Chains A and B, each alone.
Chain A
């Protein structure tokens, strides 16, 4: 079947450039791809990300999808830059639209030189600087299915952006080789169709060009994948979870990664089972973790408290999303911090640690496993949707720095030399040596009831006080064992930022923007959030006139935690907040500072 010639004619915008117009070279490019769920916007984003990586560029991709399998508006954005980036760009250079809604939603963010490439099968965009090709019809004929329209759009885009044709093709081969012959063949055909129509159309080819970068020794990954890899390398061998956006990928990666290492991954019947299976496995001696998001975290709260009371080492990765209740499962927020810092009924020690990027997530997952076993308590890896699901270029994960610290363990050999074994022996650092069930010649009682050193249930007054101190003082004694904060920017600056997780990317950019405007600013990236690292944040704040706490929530949860622990800095701490589900863009942070100083 041949495609009617009339339908292949491009629909050009009013101000279509002539074929000889010089191309606009971009060293920091943002492409937004929008359409209905199922249109394949994420695939286009993935293909572009792979291409830009091959050109040595830093890449950051984010997605904005609805919590449904098909339908509803979905968009993805890809940013590529010669310089390190880990945030969405505030303006879009090229918009790829599969429907009119995508045009309507994307045009507001379009840069003055911005260009729209759209699928004209069902609509016509009434815009200058745009070109439409009927991708769905073009591929539908020769390939039998319109679904390859996304690859055709990638082909047209490659012409618009002046891509190297060989590299463009190798990205398709790399992406689809695992799916087998037919999928690869059809996608290659779709690529050619898309390239062909774009090359024929006036003013499209080479309208833009993208600078080549020199960032080669990097990986393109997500926080969720980094956590899964960190778990395996950190000796994690038992994982139980329950599917929940945006945490599910951690479980899915581990289902692939863990079995060859003698590990077990279980999808539990609910989050109550997940945390309790993890508790059982950790009690038995496995390095164990679960991952979840807000609603699941609420259900796990009782179990996490039990791990604190019974001194069982568990790791919980919390991928924060918009809450409360079901909230907005696919959107970004950092609103679980207050809950986690005060987690559960009763009082027990816990560590909250927060990585800022995939490499950090890899390292801190390993550290979380070490800390949990060393201090025998629950450790929470505090993540957020953008960190978990957006892909970014990250330094390669370094295995040579990895250390496994299992804390005080009684081995079958050393057990023979003991005269007695008390599971809750009171020690200097509050940590009792552990003998796993199965250690010949001894046994123990592990319980969430208040207990004496032997594990006997106890209501003795002096014992209660002693045991509370044993557990709670771990948070004081471990302070210098916890991940340290990172500071950036000139030491003499009087303005500062404090943030954690995915807000680090836009804050870095804000520092640079402010610098170009003559404002010198610093940033403290908190990597331990609880217990609050006063010994690091206090000196940082002392040097500042104003510190902006940048976070994704309504009430300023981190700001409140800092004011509570360092009331003497109350006045200089201010909030920059965003809670609409979208991540910060650097200019928003800059204007908050410029308006406020």
Chain B
């Protein structure tokens, strides 16, 4: 065995919701028997974005807000890797919003976990895009990632979990990773992960979370129905959790399959001159 990077103890405060995600990622990877060397975790900036430091995994620490672009780059370059991007709500919904929206459209088979605590914890409690009205003087309405995700007509897997329910979270992450590994496309899982220091919402969220699968009319293959269900729950003061979208036909729609398919792709293809000489000569002879 080659001695590789050794995980360090998490920097998180005791009780942080991110511990549940760390445990669930470990468990899901083990249950699915994903070899460590084939797993890449692209981390964002912020408390949650340091999760790769605490795992035996290929960690790629991205720039603030750019983890999705880097994760898509990894996946398209080598589709045989299992790629997870993980960061916070500020990283994903503020500075990284452009890439967030486009990740659904692109539909590369990567898993994106957003640990949403409705604040910027690492910089000590400023309002974030998901902060409630009044939090730290916030006067802007909170952003709802699930509604945005459902508004983009792409065959993505969309779900929300709660750190207070790690068992369901593990099951959902396993489903999301299976979705990716079958080449079906982008999986987005937002975890409600309370910041015990700057925005301790465990009690409040435990009261308000609502399992969408228990609601009348639940059908995760019906985007319109799910949008209405979630919007009504939010307007009714509830927090919907569970699987919000799951394409019904099982199509392998991942971007990497459209671009690379069954070929080797950019990393594994043979780039030696001698292997490509005839094709290169043909390409260059096309010049006038």
A428 CB–B CB distance under 8 Å: no
Asked whether, in the complex, the Cβ of B273 is within 8 Å of the Cβ of A404, the reply is: yes
Asked whether, in the complex, the Cβ of A238 is within 8 Å of the Cβ of B98, the reply is: no
Residues of A within 8 A of B69 (CB): 268, 272-274, 276-277, 279-280
**Distance (whole angstroms) from the CB of A551 to the closest CB of chain B:** 29
**Distance (whole angstroms) from the CB of A70 to the closest CB of chain B:** 27
Cα–Cα, bound, A445→B8 (Å): 12
A142 CB–B CB distance under 8 Å: no
B36 CB–A CB distance under 8 Å: yes
Asked whether, in the complex, the Cβ of B74 is within 8 Å of the Cβ of A418, the reply is: no
Interface hits, B235-256 → A, CB 8 Å = none
**Distance (whole angstroms) from the CB of B137 to the closest CB of chain A:** 29
B76 CB–A CB distance under 8 Å: yes
A288 CB–B CB distance under 8 Å: yes
Cα–Cα, bound, A225→B75 (Å): 28
The answer to whether residues A284 and B2 also contact, given A219-B288, A443-B57 and a CB cut-off of 8 A, is no
Interface hits, B141-189 → A, CB 8 Å = none
Residue of B nearest to A391 (CB): B288
Residues of B within 8 A of A149 (CB): none
Residues of A within 8 A of B101 (CB): 269
Residues of B within 8 A of A572 (CB): none
Residue of B nearest to A420 (CB): B3
Cα–Cα, bound, A283→B43 (Å): 14
Asked whether, in the complex, the Cβ of B280 is within 8 Å of the Cβ of A233, the reply is: yes
Residues of B within 8 A of A263 (CB): 266, 269
Residues of B within 8 A of A416 (CB): 2
Complex interface bits, B98-138 against A, C-beta within 8 A gives 1, otherwise 0: 11011000000000000000000000000000000000000
Residues of B within 8 A of A440 (CB): 35, 37
Asked whether, in the complex, the Cβ of A442 is within 8 Å of the Cβ of B73, the reply is: no
**Distance (whole angstroms) from the CB of A312 to the closest CB of chain B:** 9
Cα–Cα, bound, A553→B126 (Å): 44
Cα–Cα, bound, A404→B276 (Å): 12
**Distance (whole angstroms) from the CB of A222 to the closest CB of chain B:** 10
Residues of B within 8 A of A285 (CB): 77-78, 267
Asked whether, in the complex, the Cβ of A287 is within 8 Å of the Cβ of B6, the reply is: no
Cα–Cα, bound, A268→B288 (Å): 31
Residues of A within 8 A of B279 (CB): 260-261
Residue of A nearest to B38 (CB): A438
CB contact between A284 and one of B6, B73, B276 (< 8 Å): that residue:
B73
| Contact stretch, chosen from A156-164, A381-389, A450-458 | A450-458
**Distance (whole angstroms) from the CB of A248 to the closest CB of chain B:** 19
**Distance (whole angstroms) from the CB of B167 to the closest CB of chain A:** 27
Interface hits, A406-425 → B, CB 8 Å = 415-416, 418-421, 423
**Distance (whole angstroms) from the CB of A252 to the closest CB of chain B:** 15
A257 CB–B CB distance under 8 Å: yes
Residue of A nearest to B263 (CB): A262
Residues of A within 8 A of B20 (CB): none
CB contact between A286 and one of B58, B78, B281, B284 (< 8 Å): that residue:
B78
A577 CB–B CB distance under 8 Å: no
Asked whether, in the complex, the Cβ of A238 is within 8 Å of the Cβ of B277, the reply is: no
Asked whether, in the complex, the Cβ of A273 is within 8 Å of the Cβ of B3, the reply is: no
Cα–Cα, bound, A423→B277 (Å): 33
Asked whether, in the complex, the Cβ of B72 is within 8 Å of the Cβ of A286, the reply is: no
Asked whether, in the complex, the Cβ of B63 is within 8 Å of the Cβ of A276, the reply is: yes
A402 CB–B CB distance under 8 Å: yes
Asked whether, in the complex, the Cβ of A445 is within 8 Å of the Cβ of B267, the reply is: no
Asked whether, in the complex, the Cβ of B74 is within 8 Å of the Cβ of A283, the reply is: yes
B37, B71, B75, B264 — most chain A CB neighbours (10 Å): B37
CB contact between B77 and one of A264, A302, A449 (< 8 Å): that residue:
A264
Cα–Cα, bound, A560→B231 (Å): 60
Asked whether, in the complex, the Cβ of A444 is within 8 Å of the Cβ of B63, the reply is: no
Residues of A within 8 A of B75 (CB): 280
Interface hits, B257-273 → A, CB 8 Å = 259-260, 263-267, 269, 271-273
Asked whether, in the complex, the Cβ of B284 is within 8 Å of the Cβ of A302, the reply is: no
Asked whether, in the complex, the Cβ of A50 is within 8 Å of the Cβ of B266, the reply is: no
Asked whether, in the complex, the Cβ of B77 is within 8 Å of the Cβ of A281, the reply is: yes
Cα–Cα, bound, A261→B78 (Å): 14
CB contact between B277 and one of A50, A399, A403 (< 8 Å): that residue:
A399
Asked whether, in the complex, the Cβ of A444 is within 8 Å of the Cβ of B271, the reply is: no
Asked whether, in the complex, the Cβ of A447 is within 8 Å of the Cβ of B59, the reply is: yes
B219 CB–A CB distance under 8 Å: no
Cα–Cα, bound, A268→B68 (Å): 12
Cα–Cα, bound, A507→B101 (Å): 49
Interface size on B, residues (CB 8 A): 63
Cα–Cα, bound, A446→B4 (Å): 12
Cα–Cα, bound, A124→B4 (Å): 79
Asked whether, in the complex, the Cβ of B98 is within 8 Å of the Cβ of A446, the reply is: no
**Distance (whole angstroms) from the CB of A173 to the closest CB of chain B:** 13
Residue of B nearest to A175 (CB): B288
Asked whether, in the complex, the Cβ of A444 is within 8 Å of the Cβ of B5, the reply is: yes
Asked whether, in the complex, the Cβ of B102 is within 8 Å of the Cβ of A269, the reply is: yes
Complex interface bits, B59-92 against A, C-beta within 8 A gives 1, otherwise 0: 1111101100111111111101100000000000
B204 CB–A CB distance under 8 Å: no
Asked whether, in the complex, the Cβ of B60 is within 8 Å of the Cβ of A404, the reply is: no
Asked whether, in the complex, the Cβ of B37 is within 8 Å of the Cβ of A272, the reply is: no
B222 CB–A CB distance under 8 Å: no
Asked whether, in the complex, the Cβ of A238 is within 8 Å of the Cβ of B1, the reply is: no
B230 CB–A CB distance under 8 Å: no
A270 CB–B CB distance under 8 Å: yes
A327 CB–B CB distance under 8 Å: no
Cα–Cα, bound, A235→B77 (Å): 13
Interface hits, B28-69 → A, CB 8 Å = 35-40, 42, 50, 52-53, 56-63, 65-66, 69
Asked whether, in the complex, the Cβ of B284 is within 8 Å of the Cβ of A421, the reply is: no
Asked whether, in the complex, the Cβ of A280 is within 8 Å of the Cβ of B58, the reply is: no
A232 CB–B CB distance under 8 Å: yes
Cα–Cα, bound, A306→B60 (Å): 12
A368 CB–B CB distance under 8 Å: no
A522 CB–B CB distance under 8 Å: no
**Distance (whole angstroms) from the CB of B222 to the closest CB of chain A:** 28
Asked whether, in the complex, the Cβ of B58 is within 8 Å of the Cβ of A443, the reply is: yes
A50, A53, A225, A264 — most chain B CB neighbours (10 Å): A264
Asked whether, in the complex, the Cβ of B62 is within 8 Å of the Cβ of A284, the reply is: no
Residue of A nearest to B271 (CB): A235
Asked whether, in the complex, the Cβ of B266 is within 8 Å of the Cβ of A443, the reply is: no
Interface hits, A273-321 → B, CB 8 Å = 273-274, 276-288, 302-303, 306, 310
Residue of B nearest to A219 (CB): B287
Asked whether, in the complex, the Cβ of B72 is within 8 Å of the Cβ of A280, the reply is: yes
CB contact between B280 and one of A221, A399, A439, A448 (< 8 Å): that residue:
A399
Residue of A nearest to B59 (CB): A445
A220 CB–B CB distance under 8 Å: yes
Known: A286-B267, A457-B8. 18 other contacts (CB 8 A): A233-B276, A262-B260, A262-B263, A264-B266, A277-B72, A279-B70, A280-B69, A280-B70, A284-B266, A399-B284, A421-B2, A437-B40, A439-B37, A441-B1, A442-B2, A442-B4, A446-B58, A455-B5
Closest 6 CB pairs of A and B: A280-B73, A235-B271, A276-B69, A237-B266, A447-B61, A286-B266
A-B contact pairs, 28 of them (CB 8 A): A225-B287, A232-B283, A237-B77, A238-B73, A261-B276, A262-B260, A266-B76, A266-B259, A269-B98, A270-B98, A272-B99, A273-B99, A273-B102, A280-B71, A281-B266, A283-B74, A284-B267, A285-B77, A286-B78, A287-B266, A306-B63, A397-B284, A402-B273, A404-B273, A437-B40, A438-B38, A441-B37, A445-B59
